[in-house]
Amino acid sequence: MQMEKLIITAAIQGAEISKSNFSPLPITPEEVAHEAYDAWNAGAAVIHLHVRDHNGHPTQDKDEFKKNIDAITATGCKAIIQVSTGGAVGMTAAERMQPVTLKPESASLNTGSLNFGDGIFLNPPDLIRALAVSMKQHGVKPEFEVYEEGHIHNALAIVKEGLANAPLSFQFVLGVPGGMSPNPKNIFILSEAVPINSNWGVAGIGRYQLSLGMISILLGGNVRVGFEDNIYYSKGEPAKSNAQLVARMVRLSEEIGRPIASENDARDILGLKKRE
Ligand code: KMH
Ligand code: ZN
């Protein structure tokens, strides 16, 4: 069986880890740009982007996003930029909406609420709809972030309202305390619950980034790696860079005969327009 090329997303920073706890975390636009370029060069077609303010705190400020995106572009990195609209736990809806107005190619769209570690990650129906409307207005492709099966049904309600079009993209985030567990059987449950011909991938949290990513590769899904979800290369060994985590997925996928999608392959697969 010929499998679709593998789309690797690098979630290079996230919003829940601090530089003081993990020094390789990219914070400044220069650090973010460098890390994004290296991850793309290693084989990532998509960069899932969060940004920080000058104090290193997560922000959804439009101007900060612009600075980071411009810095990434200036390196020659041609990856699809996917801005986060999840932001950090506790951010308001208005804060989270901002980066969509920059018209990036893609944005995350979290389609349900859950306890998120010690906090609550609120994604009520009115916020999901408002984000979907804004993405449609600005020509931004949503990637539905789902943490349990019910979130797929919420995403499909948005599709039914005409706010998102096929081919649909889903990211199954498994292992957040409060979300679906990182048990491999959940990949089967979720991938069978999305409409046929949807694109889906797996973001395993912590040590499950590797094992669930490998299972996803074998099943024909995509994979997300990076510091947002996991900061270790192996048990007790911190990762040196996002590129190191990307490169391992490239090796594993190529070893079983599944080629890696370039950013333009990924644009074809995801239904995005090609860029120069
Ligand atoms: N920081 C998490 C609470 C996203 O980027 O869309 C949410 C998150 C999801 O990171
Ligand atoms: Zn994120």
> pLDDT tens digits, residue range 182-196?
999 999 999 999 999
Q: Which atom of ligand 1 is nearest to the CA of 173?
A: 9
Reported as a pLDDT band with limits 50, 70 and 90, residue 1 is: low
Reported as a pLDDT band with limits 50, 70 and 90, residue 273 is: confident
| Ligand 1 contacts CB of residue 43 (under 6 A) | no
For ligand 1, atom 7, name the residue with the nearest CA.
86
| 220's tokens | 């024909």
Give distance in angstroms: CA of 20 to centre of ligand 1: 20
Which has the closest alpha carbon to 88: 124, 55, 107, 60? 60
For ligand 1, atom 8, name the residue with the nearest CA.
86
Q: What is the pTM of this model?
A: 0.98
Using a CB cutoff of 5 Å, list residues around ligand 2, an ion: 84
Helices and strands, counts by H and E, the chain: 9, 14
| Ligand 1 contacts CB of residue 115 (under 6 A) | no
> pLDDT tens digits, residue range 205-256?
999 999 999 999 999 999 999 999 999 999 999 999 999 999 999 999 999 9
| Ligand 1 contacts CB of residue 77 (under 6 A) | no
Residue given tokens 């003081």 in the structure block: 20
DSSP 164: S
Helices 62-74/29-42 angle, 10° precision = 50
Query: What average pLDDT does range 4-28 have in this prediction?
Result: 97
Structural domains in the chain? 8-270 (3.20.20.70)
